[in-house]
Amino acid sequence: MPTTLKFACDLRHGLHARPASLIAQIAEKSKSRVLVRKTGADEADARSVLSVIALDIQPGNPWEISIEGADEGAVARQLESLVHSHFGETADADGEFVEDAPARVPAALKRMGVEVVSGTPASRGAGRGKLVFVRARALTERVPDRSTESVEAEQARLKRALEAAGEDIETRMRRASGTAADLLAAHRIMLDDSQLLALIEQKIAGGMTAERAVAHAAEAFGEKLRAAASPLIRERAADVRDLAVQILSAMGVEFAEDAPTLTEGSILVSESMTPGQLLKVDATKIAGLVLGEVGLTSHVIILARSMGVPAIVGVPNSFVRSGKAGPALLDGTFGFVAADPSAAVIRLYDFDVRARAERKDFLASFGLTSGRTRDGVPFEIGANASSAADVERAIAGGADGIGLFRTEFLYLGRAHAPTEDELVRVFSAVVKHAAGKPVIFRTFDIGADKPAPFLHLAGEENPFLGARGARLYKKHATLLRTQLRSIVRAAGAIPGAKVRVMAPMITNAEEMKWFREQVRAVEKNLANGGFRAEPLRVGMMLETPAAAANVRAFVEHADFFSLGTNDLSQYWFASDRGNAAVAPIVDEMDASFLELIRKAVSDAKSAGKWIGMCGEMASSAEYLPVLVALGLDEISIAGATGADVKYRLSRVDSGAVRGALDEALREGASVRERFASMRSGVGLAPIADELIRLDCEATNKEEAIREMVGLLSSAGRTDLPWELEEAVWAREETYSTGLGFGFAVPHCRSRAVEAVSIAVGRLKKEVEWGSNDGVPVRHVLLLAVPEDVDAKAHLQVLARLARKLVHEEFRGAVEKCGTVDGLRELLKGELGL
Amino acid sequence: MKIVGVTACPTGIAHTYMAAEQLEKAAKAAGHQIKVETQGSMGIENELSAADVKGADVVIFAVDIEIEKKERFEGKKVIKVGVTEAIKNPNGVLARASG
């Protein structure tokens, strides 16, 4: 008798790809036969994500999992706890793109009665341009017409393409985080989908070419998914298509045809597009993308985001096929396109354009100087990079240096090791783009999850605990020396270069001593040949608990340290971060882990050594205050957002966070909770010059609110202006905030704002606000209060302002005030701020 | 004349306080003694004591909603107006209270 677990589906969007892939991960590893069944209807092999989601299990539907086999009991327990944990689904806190983001329309547009076509938000921002329809051809029409070789040859072709596509997804997974990483993981599992593969194999056996078989199988599966009731499951058709495109691309099928020639700013509309197609279009003329059958993690959407092109997906076919050209406005934040927008709609969105430009300037200003906390403590913000282009972007984005240059990407997936000259070329470009800022090259970190075929590494029972990183260096000393030579040569060739080198996966002092000797030997060797260069600073990663807990043992051999928290945390918690069943055990905010880091930092500092952090932990905005509190010299982050992080850093008081961390650790309190209540905006004045504008252009209430929210966004008081604006409107809808006498005080509490902030605007043209006395509004004071701040402060400001307003002297003084600082001082004094 | 008042508007955010301020301003200008309790989103502020009520010649309610602790004013002369009227025309409200 199989064990049967019965549930009622309580997932908001049904049993979609992510939960299905988590079930599949468990089923894949078990020795039992695991079936998922929609009660009273179909059943599917749990290892086939696509078949499971095609069951179309909707919220409220009863469903079952049955398990039969050797490890039935253990598997049942795992699955049960997975389902009861709601598959780890949480509310999406930071506004990332998620597949179930509701398509919405901003309140301002609703009031204006604008008709829109909705889709799923996919890439933020808004764009305006002419609609250009691009016809998408069926996959089956795109595959080349060639005659079939032997079934074996076609199968081999398929296998190679599947491997290449799998590696590509895995590489992207390693660089992604959060929801995107989960969705890529779902893609990776779908690629192994037993049902899909069986269908492809069957078609090959029936005499089709591998390309044709993939295209036909994908379309057949797509049809099945498109028939589902849930839009989320229908969207998986896009994933299948995207996967098929990746497999076919790996087979050399060219997808870049059908690229239109654009003559003016355009919004491209298509059922689906490929990255190649998008890259062929003149990027300066793309105002946005409106796609039908494309998933949020597809290459084309990721590309659109990196190009800053607003995009929405999942729009109805009726729109995609309508072919009705003409001007349109696309909002990739809310997820809609409005055809033929009125002048009023266009004006409203022009306020965003201004706010975005001003915000960019404001944030960029933080990138021009090195990182400092609010109380002036230096804290370098470095960046992680894997290519010269990454370095260029990171430095332009305001990084203080490259805290981790991963060299292994030059080795992975290659049949032969790169030559010294090739490495010198790449490293020289890296050093050149670093523009005199320090670069830490990490020598190749190969093994475990990052195999290099030419090394012919033996398969290991437990690769993460096996020969990887520096542990391979003695055996492959020539490979290491070649790399070190190229780093020394690149460093010496560029005047003013600040190049350092560090070793991965060091566990004991002997390894580090040996590594340092190799660097010195290489330098000596080059010097003998007449190559003169400064000796490199030689450091090491701290990613094994043995090394991190005993930094003192290494200070003799290492000039600096960098904490690799990805590996360090999984070794510390003995949990594979890639295994959904145990990943939640890894908690970087756990006291034991923080104590480990704190000790490593303190040991390094007392030996006078520099210590940074380059793991994912360093890239999380949530952790920044804790990282400052730990006393690190540097963090090296993913992406080119150095200026942004420096801006957030400028809000952190190092003394306060250090006190909070010490106290929490001493008392055994939750560090996460302690820091959650410390907002970065603490200490910012509610009224500041950059929040006051005396010549506002708004011509109606909608524009005035958008202009005020824009001020808050430009000054870095909110990262989610659209959300703040919605909160203001929600409040506005209950009762007009026009107080009379020509004053309006729109206000809200929202998590979207960093600190109690008042944006003050004097309008060039008075606008109607629905005030009690019918007087149009000339002065707008928009008050935004963080959700976790005591409401009383917020209400007191409003009450005080309300009382002041009935006094003619106050109103007269505000009216007469002609300068920004004058108005700032007046309001500060009168409102007691 | 000794006046006590209560102001309260539906949201309790601003108009409650504007009405209180207007009544206080107008009463003082006219040489009356006044104390106004606000029942807003911060709860009851400047609360009227039994002695305040007892000593008052007249009570002004500038309210658009039911107020709390209404029983304190039983038996007193009460003038009831809307919040907007108190903001727009506080002198008119005072005139009615004196009449």
| CA atoms within 13 Å, Cβ hemisphere of A282 | 9
How large is the average pLDDT for residues A432-438?
A: 96
Tell me the three state secondary structure of residue A808: helix
How large is the average pLDDT for residues A549-574?
A: 96
User: Which residues of chain B make contact with A791, given a CB cutoff of 8 A?
Assistant: 41
Per-residue model confidence (pLDDT) at position A232 = 65
Q: Are A797 and A814 contained in the same domain?
A: yes
If you measure CA to CA, which chain A residue comes closest to B21? Answer: A803
Say which residues have a Cβ less than 8 Å from residue A504's Cβ, sequence separation at least 6. A442, A443, A444, A445, A468, A469, A470, A541, A543, A564
The secondary structure element, H or E, covering residue A351 is: helix A343-367
Per-residue model confidence (pLDDT) at position A199 = 92
Q: What is the CATH number of the domain that holds A306?
A: 3.50.30.10
Q: Are A466 and A518 contained in the same domain?
A: yes
Q: What is the CATH number of the domain that holds A204?
A: 1.10.274.10
The secondary structure element, H or E, covering residue A151 is: helix A151-175
- Name the minimum distance, in Å, from the CA of A738 to any CA of chain B: 10
Q: Are A269 and A130 contained in the same domain?
A: yes
A780 falls within a domain:
yes
Q: Are A436 and A585 contained in the same domain?
A: yes
Cross-strand partners of A757? A784
A361 falls within a domain:
no
User: Which residues of chain B make contact with A811, given a CB cutoff of 8 A?
Assistant: none
How large is the average pLDDT for residues B53-68?
A: 95
A734 Cβ under 8 Å from any chain B Cβ: yes
A605 falls within a domain:
yes
Tell me if B60 sits within 8 A of B73, measured CB to CB.
Answer: no
Per-residue model confidence (pLDDT) at position A94 = 32
Q: Are A664 and A722 contained in the same domain?
A: no
Q: What is the CATH number of the domain that holds A825?
A: 3.40.930.10
Give dist(CA A214, CA A231) in Å, integer.
24
Cross-strand partners of A749? A785
pLDDT per residue as tens digits for the range A372-402: 999 999 999 999 998 898 899 899 999 999 9
Question: Which of A795, A796, A803 comes nearest B18 by C-beta?
Answer: A803
A355 falls within a domain:
no
Residue type at position A278 = L
Q: What is the CATH number of the domain that holds A72?
A: 3.30.1340.10
Q: What is the CATH number of the domain that holds A425?
A: 3.20.20.60
Question: Which of B22, B25, B42 comes nearest A799 by C-beta?
Answer: B42
Q: Are A647 and A669 contained in the same domain?
A: yes
Domain that holds residue A405: 373-676
Q: Are A132 and A146 contained in the same domain?
A: no
A506 falls within a domain:
yes
Whole-number mean pLDDT of chain A? 88
Tell me if A311 sits within 8 A of A291, measured CB to CB.
Answer: yes
pLDDT per residue as tens digits for the range A465-474: 989 999 999 9
A100 falls within a domain:
no
B98 Cβ under 8 Å from any chain A Cβ: no
A94 falls within a domain:
no
Tell me the three state secondary structure of residue A224: helix
- Name the minimum distance, in Å, from the CA of A126 to any CA of chain B: 34
How large is the average pLDDT for residues A341-365?
A: 92
Per-residue model confidence (pLDDT) at position A448 = 63
Contact A772 B41 (CB under 8 A): no
Give dist(CA A230, CA A85) in Å, integer.
22
Contact B88 A739 (CB under 8 A): no
Give dist(CA A386, CA A105) in Å, integer.
39
- Name the minimum distance, in Å, from the CA of B41 to any CA of chain A: 7
Q: Give the domain-ending residue among A250, A274, A305.
A: A250
| DSSP3 helix / strand / coil % (chain B, rounded to 5) | 40, 30, 30
Reported confidence tier of residue A236, pLDDT bands at 50, 70, 90: confident
B7 Cβ under 8 Å from any chain A Cβ: no
Contact B20 A796 (CB under 8 A): no
Q: Give the domain-ending residue among A312, A347, A382.
A: A347
Q: What is the CATH number of the domain that holds B10?
A: 3.40.50.2300
Percent of chain A's residues with pLDDT above 70: 93
Contact B87 A740 (CB under 8 A): yes
Give dist(CA A537, CA A523) in Å, integer.
12
pLDDT per residue as tens digits for the range A138-182: 888 888 888 888 999 999 999 999 999 988 888 777 666 555 666
Q: Are A61 and A185 contained in the same domain?
A: no
Q: How many domains does chain A have?
A: 5
Give dist(CA A110, CA A346) in Å, integer.
14
Is residue B59 over pLDDT 50? Answer: yes
Reported confidence tier of residue A681, pLDDT bands at 50, 70, 90: low
Catalytic residues of A: 299, 614
Give dist(CA A322, CA A119) in Å, integer.
15
Q: Are A399 and A530 contained in the same domain?
A: yes
Reported confidence tier of residue A48, pLDDT bands at 50, 70, 90: confident
Q: Give the domain-ending residue among A313, A347, A381.
A: A347
Alpha-carbon A231 to chain mean position: 24
Nearest alpha carbon to residue B24 among B99, B76, B86? B86
Q: How many domains does chain B have?
A: 1
User: What is the C-alpha radius of gyration for chain B, rounded to an integer number of angstroms?
Assistant: 12
More confident of the two residues A575 and A296: A575
Q: Are A607 and A671 contained in the same domain?
A: yes
A730 Cβ under 8 Å from any chain B Cβ: no
If you measure CA to CA, which chain A residue comes closest to B88? Answer: A773
Give dist(CA B50, CA B59) in Å, integer.
13
Give dist(CA A11, CA A61) in Å, integer.
10
- Cβ count within 10 A of residue A748: 24
What is the complex's ipTM, to 2 decimals?
0.94
Least confident of A94-103, A662-671, A677-686: A94-103
Catalytic residues of B: 9
- Name the minimum distance, in Å, from the CA of B99 to any CA of chain A: 25
Give dist(CA A421, CA A418) in Å, integer.
8
A93 falls within a domain:
no
Domain that holds residue B53: 2-98
pTM: 0.71
User: Which residues of chain A make contact with B40, given a CB cutoff of 8 A?
Assistant: 795, 799
Q: Are A581 and A443 contained in the same domain?
A: yes
More confident of the two residues B11 and B95: B95
Per-residue model confidence (pLDDT) at position A239 = 77
Q: Are A489 and A628 contained in the same domain?
A: yes
